[in-house]
Amino acid sequence: MTKPSRAVLIFTKLPEAGKVKTRLIPALGAEGAANLYRRLLDRQLAWLTAETDYSIQLWLTPSTEHPMTRQWQGKPALSLFLQQGEDLGERMMHAARSALQRYQQVVLVGVDCPALTSAHLQQAFAWLESCDGVLGPAQDGGYVLLGLKSTPLSLFKGHRWGEADVAETTREAMRQLGWNWRELPLLQDLDRPEDLGQLKELGIPPE
């Protein structure tokens, strides 16, 4: 049986006050930061379901049983999974390996980049037809997207998650693997108070 082609894996935390977007709390307060995170996630799910036909996997932490998850239960093309692993790399590797048992290509994203669009995903999947991987670098030195057809350990181990060299150490891992990969244009995460200007630029209401 031929595997379905493409799945988008979204890595997200439950949008609980004080536990998400903590660097925005000085500007927005704990409730405001959590509300923004929730709206970014809802917005991303909305355009993914409206503008694409990919299977969508929502990889959650710390629970898939929280009452907040009821809004996502039973939605077509949307499946919920619990993140598993000691750090972000282990959690991404577990999710990607699990998804690739069923799908030919996967793209991993977070919810921190409101500038990410369906066009970026379409380009990433198109490149995966002929490339080993796709990287979507972020302006802060990390990345906002990782497209894969396989999951070598070096892509997920030995990186300083949350630091400014993650994209470069991932590139080095790809070089060592002998991979042919492509990169999307540089995009900006929304992590710090000075990043909030993106909302106006993208037409997203501040509240």
Instruction: Establish if 160 belongs to a structural domain.
Output: yes
Q: Which of 79, 72, 134, 88 is nearest to 107 (CA)?
A: 134
Instruction: Establish if 86 belongs to a structural domain.
Output: yes
pLDDT of 141: 94
- Confidence tier at 1 by pLDDT (50, 70, 90): very low
- Confidence tier at 204 by pLDDT (50, 70, 90): confident
- The count of C-alpha atoms lying within 13 angstroms of the C-alpha of 140, restricted to the half-sphere facing its C-beta, is 15
Task: Please state whether the predicted TM-score (pTM) of the whole model is above 0.85.
Answer: yes
Q: Give the domain CATH number at 151.
A: 3.90.550.10
pLDDT at 54 > cutoff 80: yes
Instruction: Establish if 97 belongs to a structural domain.
Output: yes
b/e map of 40-61 (b: 16 or more CB within 10 Å)? bbeebbeebeeebebbbbbbbb
Dump pLDDT digits (tens) for 94-104.
999 999 999 99
**Domain extent for 169:** 6-198
Q: Which two three-digit tokens encode residue 42?
A: 């809802």
pLDDT of 207: 66
Residue 171's alpha-carbon distances to 10, 136, 140, 156, 179, in angstroms, are 21, 11, 15, 12, 9
By CB neighbour count within 10 A (0-12 exposed, 13-18 middle, 19+ buried), where does 82 fall? middle
Q: State the chain's mean pLDDT as an integer.
A: 93
Q: Which of 100, 164, 179 is nearest to 134 (CA)?
A: 179
pLDDT above 70 as % of the chain: 97
More confident residue, 191 or 9: 9
**Complete DSSP assignment for 10-73:** EEEE---TTTSSGGGHHHHHHHHHHHHHHHHHHHHHHHHHHH---EEEEEEES-SSSGGGGGTT
59 φ/ψ angles, rounded to the nearest 5 degrees: -95, 110
Instruction: Establish if 1 belongs to a structural domain.
Output: no
State whether residue 153 is helix, strand or coil. Answer: helix
Instruction: Establish if 187 belongs to a structural domain.
Output: yes
Dump pLDDT digits (tens) for 128-175.
999 999 999 999 999 999 999 999 999 999 999 989 999 999 999 999
Vertex 37: Cα angle to 36 and 43 (nearest 5): 85
How many separate domains does the chain show? 1
**Rounded to the nearest 10 degrees, how much is the dihedral formed by the CA atoms of 66, 67, 69, 74?**
120
Distance CA(202)–CA(127), nearest Å, equals 26
Report DSSP state, residue 110: -
Instruction: Establish if 206 belongs to a structural domain.
Output: no
Instruction: Establish if 151 belongs to a structural domain.
Output: yes
Distance CA(30)–CA(43), nearest Å, equals 20
Q: Which two three-digit tokens encode residue 74?
A: 């039973």
pLDDT at 2 > cutoff 60: no
Instruction: Establish if 207 belongs to a structural domain.
Output: no
